[in-house]
Amino acid sequence: MHGKDVTLDGVAITYPNGFTAVHPTNLKVEAGEFFSILGPSGCGKTTILRAVSGFVDPSQGKVLIGGDDQQGIGPNTRPTALIFQNLALFPLMSVWENVAFGLEARGASKAERRKKALELLDLVALRDQADKKPQELSGGQRQRVAIARALAVEPSVLLLDEPLSALDLKLRQHMRAELRDIQKKTGVTFIYITHDQGEALTMSDRIAVMNAGVVEQVGAPDEVYNAPATAFVASFVGEVNQFKGRIVEIREDGLAVIETVAGVLVGKNPKGLTTGDAAILFVRPEQVQPGQHLTNQFTGQVMRRDLEGAFINYEITIREGAQLVMHTTNTGDGVGVGAELSVGFQGNGGIILPEGQLARTGRELAA
Ligand SMILES: Nc1ncnc2c1ncn2[C@@H]1O[C@H](COP(=O)(O)OP(=O)(O)OP(=O)(O)O)[C@@H](O)[C@H]1O
Ligand SMILES: [Mg+2]
């Protein structure tokens, strides 16, 4: 098996009812890459997969796989395979017969089909389960059978539409590593759809973050998390404190000063905002620290304290109507609810971005 690259060249998709689910998008997924599309429900993730797999035609632009224009090529003849959220295995067939299902149509003999199925079951660590029925397997094992079945037709591109969402948390976390492993072993290009940012961050070589039919950023997980390109990306990927305001000063060192309800704050200014611009300062809870003489310094009161074992999460009121969330490692000397605390963050610990739509999952701390 080998992966092929996938290019969306100006692809836009408008459904027959006139609704544009995907606005013109340029995107290149490299051959052999684990590429995730991350975004909230309804942002157009599945629609993009449909266009790649051939179940829907772009209204504009084209899809290329391995450099070949896919226009006029139907789903069955594209070098793609698709795995849905709610996979359906055939209950009356054994595990290996499920995996081999697609091979019969290709004229393979029963012995050939079984050999191939066992190879694939080896890949997903289920060879010893080959003769069981699907209902005798766990949820995670069934998911792996579905992956083996999709790989049986030797696709160059495997499209996975929220394949782990039906599994419980533990299994989902375990399957993340398994999927990643399978992808690396086969070299097949994976396009993985999820609305779970933890999943996207841990599994992907690169991530496209989508909002309302628009890809807002494409980058490596670190890039998307540490250097979000838009307010939406900053608020959707990871937890973040956000303070709306107006730029009051641009400094020489790449930092800017913003006036917010939490006071006058300093943060990085990667987008080159200028004085008077409406903007939002974002700061991750792990950038917030106890202490004095920080660039952005507050005295606050602990309103909430959640012990998570190795970490402690605090919610601290720093002004009326302004809270700051802080994540610290648990060193055994944490303070309790009601305590007064000096906290803050350094100038380069926060990032100032143009005002824009925020994710609903983001914490609206200061409007
Ligand atoms: N056949 C259709 N006709 C009209 N509109 C559609 C159709 N299918 C999807 N849509 C709309 O297009 C938008 C994008 O849908 P899509 O299924 O791509 O979202 P998604 O990002 O996969 O969401 P989810 O995470 O909930 O699966 C949604 O607003 C949806 O209502
Ligand atoms: Mg979907």
Q: pLDDT by residue (tens digit) across 76-86? A: 899 999 988 76
Which ranges in 159-218 belong to alpha helices (H)?
A: 169-186, 197-203
Percent of the chain having pLDDT more than 70? Answer: 98
Asked if residue 309 has pLDDT above 70, the reply is yes
Ligand 2 (ion): residues with CB under 5 Å are 46
Give the position of tokens 């899809």: 63
Compute the average pLDDT of residues 23-48.
97
- 244 Cα–ligand 2 center, Å: 31
**Which amino acid appears at position 242 of this protein?**
Q
Secondary structure of residue 35 in the 3-state scheme: strand
What's the rounded mean pLDDT across residues 99-118? 89
- 232-283, pLDDT tens digit by residue? 999 999 999 999 999 999 998 999 999 999 999 999 999 999 999 999 999 9
Name the pLDDT band for 208 (thresholds 50, 70, 90): very high
Q: Hey, whose CA ends up nearest to atom 10 of ligand 1?
A: 21
Instruction: Check pocket membership of 43 for ligand 1, CB cut-off 6 A.
Output: yes
Instruction: Taking the CA atoms of 213, 219, 225 and 226 in sequence, report the sign of the dihedral they define.
Output: negative
Q: How far is the CA of 22 from the centre of ligand 1 (A)?
A: 9
Give, for ligand 1, the residue of 19, 197, 210 to mutate: max count of ligand atoms closer than 8 Å to Cβ.
19
pLDDT in tens, 48-78: 999 999 999 999 999 999 999 999 999 989 9
Q: What angle in degrees, to the nearest 10, is found between the helix axes of 169-186 and 110-123?
A: 120
Confidence bin at 25 (pLDDT 50/70/90): very high
pLDDT band at 297 (very low <50, low <70, confident <90, very high): very high
Q: How confident is the model at residue 139 (pLDDT cuts 50, 70, 90)?
A: confident
Atom of ligand 1 nearest to the CA of 39: 21
Q: What is the C-alpha R_g of the chain?
A: 24
Query: Which of 101, 36, 40 is closest to 358 using CA atoms?
Result: 40
Q: For residue range 172-198, what is the model confidence (pLDDT) as tens digits?
A: 888 898 899 999 999 999 999 999 999
Confidence check: pLDDT of 285 > 70? yes
Is the pLDDT confidence value at 363 over 60? no
DSSP 30: P
Higher-confidence position of 129 and 139: 129
Best mutation site among 36, 38, 47, 56 for ligand 1, i.e. most ligand atoms within 8 A of its Cβ? 47
Give me the pLDDT at residue 108, please.
Answer: 85
Residue 367 has pLDDT above 50, yes or no: no
Cα–Cα dist 148/142, whole Å: 10
pLDDT value at position 366? Answer: 37
Distance 19 CA to ligand 1 centre (A): 10
pLDDT tens-digit map of 2-13: 899 999 999 999
**pLDDT value of position 365:** 40
Q: How far is CA 366 from CA 21, 243, 263, 319, in A?
A: 31, 5, 11, 10
For residue 22, give the ligand 1 atom closest to its CA.
14
At residue 175, the pLDDT reads: 85
Q: Which residues of 308-334 are buried (b: 16+ CB within 10 A; e: fewer)?
A: eeeebbbbbebeeebbbbbbbeeeeeb
Atom 14 of ligand 1, residue of closest alpha carbon:
44
The pick from 22, 23, 43 for probing ligand 1's pocket by mutation, whose C-beta has the most ligand atoms within 8 angstroms, reads 43
pLDDT value for 104: 82
For residue 42, the SS3 value is coil
| 268 phi and psi angles, rounded to 5 deg | -65, 150
Q: Is 38 in the pocket of ligand 1 (CB under 6 A)?
A: no
pLDDT at res. 167? 78
Structural domains of the chain in order of their starting residue, each with its CATH number = 6-226 (3.40.50.300), 232-354 (2.40.50.100)
For 165-174, what is each residue's pLDDT tens digit?
877 888 888 8
Q: What is the pLDDT of residue 361?
A: 57
Distance CA 56, CA 48 (A): 9
Helix (H, G, I), strand (E, B) or coil at 356: coil
Dist. CA 20 → ligand 1 center (Å) = 10
